[in-house]
Amino acid sequence: MAIDLARETALKILYDVSENSAYSNIAVNKHLESRELREIDRAFATELAYGTVKWLIEIDYIIDKFSSVKTKKLSPWIKNILRLGIYQLLHTDKIPVSAACNTSVELAKRYGHQASSKFVNAVLRNISRSSKNIPYPDKSDIVHYLSIVYSHPKELVDCWLKLFGAEFTESLLESNNQVPDFSVRVNTLKTNRKALIEALEQEGYKAAEGRYLEEAVILDNPSSITKLDAFQRGEFTVQDESSMLSSVVLEPAEGQLAIDVCSAPGGKATHIAQLMKNKGTVLARDIHPHKLKLIESNAARLGIDIIKTELMDAVKLDENLVGKADRVLVDAPCTGLGIIRKKPDIKYSRNLAEQKAIVELQRKILANAAKYVKPGGYLVYSTCTIMPEENLENLKAFLEENRDYRLVSFKEQLPENLKAETAQEGYIQLYPNINKTDGFFISKLVRLSDR
């Protein structure tokens, strides 16, 4: 039996993630580029890799329940072959049990030995027979139960239970394991939503209006986006609606100077330029030179020529810009715990352990960026996390130190169907389980006067 290339590719991605500490999205890109795969196989390999990473805690728990050899003692290749097989057995509904088991056995023959293949076959067949009766932890230990059933680390589950309570936390965990909408932003400098939807449908895609914003479109089962004629013509760019909202809340206008202090890969900077009708200046800064090239490339494709990129560390104050900007956006580095649906390996990283240092970094960036705003100008602070320490608590600390700033309502900038009562107070927190967007925080401040 020939090795299934899609599954073998997924296996190599998993090996890279688990043994070489690679980020899943980087490992996916690396292994898909290095192999001659049909488009359908590329999509299948990606689904298998991301799906297995998403359910890793549950899968390893199940291995330990059904295998005579515990997960920690398995060879890396056999461990990941079992993980891949279990994902197919428990979390896909179109893959026959025989296909999941037989392809795993073939992989074990190539990456292990004859005894390994028999072992893999026995474990997977046993799990398939017991799939409706997996012995999950008892609910009396709510942290352990939620951790295994929804495949999130105990530390994270415990933290969220204390913050949000049991009902909300379980809803959040469940949502984190769902596939998010694939949203794109219409480039209104070149087209409109209706025309873009028609163009995408002509290229064979299912497209629908976004949930909240006029410039948002949701694509169904997208692949090879960059090869589309509409993409090449610069008629859209990939961006979540929550991310689009931060630029809308900023309220940029024609002829202004807007600064995006942590800009790469440029989604918000190009949106700001679009809202400014490509008139004025958008200063897009980042600490990584290669990421500035991404911004420049995106801007060129979208037909935007008012973006000026600069290599700059946002924790360093640029004296030349003090009091010069009409609008400043701080989309700060964060733990990323609002985008687990898109990057499942985020939940396994040391985010909580590193949060204190991240908060300090955010506060330094925000303090510097605030100095660039003119009196009467707006400062928007946003993150893709749901942690209060990085969001509202940062704002409170900032306002204590900066009496010339206050939070300002942006209720009028939000679509009517986005229920966010706190927008009146100058901030909103979006959640995937409530808003069906990334977990995202947005706040808006106005500078009152010089001090």
Indicate which residues carry an active-site annotation: 384
Distances (CA, A) of 445 to 51, 330, 351, 382: 40, 11, 27, 11
Retrieve residue 101's tokens.
Answer: 């088991």
Contacts of 3 by beta carbon, 8 Å cutoff, 6+ apart: 106, 107, 110
The answer to whether 156 touches 355, Cβ cutoff 8 Å, is: no
Burial 393-424 (b: 16+ CB within 10 A, else e): ebbebbeeebeebebbebeeebeeebebeebe
Q: What is the C-alpha to C-alpha distance for residues 240 and 265, in angstroms, rounded to an integer? A: 13
Retrieve residue 44's tokens.
Answer: 């299948």
Q: What is the C-alpha to C-alpha distance for residues 67 and 60, in angstroms, rounded to an integer? A: 10
The answer to whether 73 touches 109, Cβ cutoff 8 Å, is: no
Q: What is the C-alpha to C-alpha distance for residues 109 and 78, in angstroms, rounded to an integer? A: 10
How many residues does this entry show for the chain?
451
If DSSP codes are grouped into helix, strand and coil, which group holds residue 311?
strand
Residue in 442, 364, 362 with CA at minimum distance from that of residue 408? 442
Q: What is the C-alpha to C-alpha distance for residues 287 and 227, in angstroms, rounded to an integer? A: 29
Q: What is the C-alpha to C-alpha distance for residues 256 and 376, in angstroms, rounded to an integer? A: 13
Burial 29-65 (b: 16+ CB within 10 A, else e): eebbeeeebeeebbbbbbbbbbbbbbbbbbbbbbbee
What residue has token string 């359908």? 40
Retrieve residue 106's tokens.
Answer: 């073939």
Contacts of 219 by beta carbon, 8 Å cutoff, 6+ apart: 182, 183, 184, 200, 205, 206, 207, 225
The answer to whether 378 touches 410, Cβ cutoff 8 Å, is: no
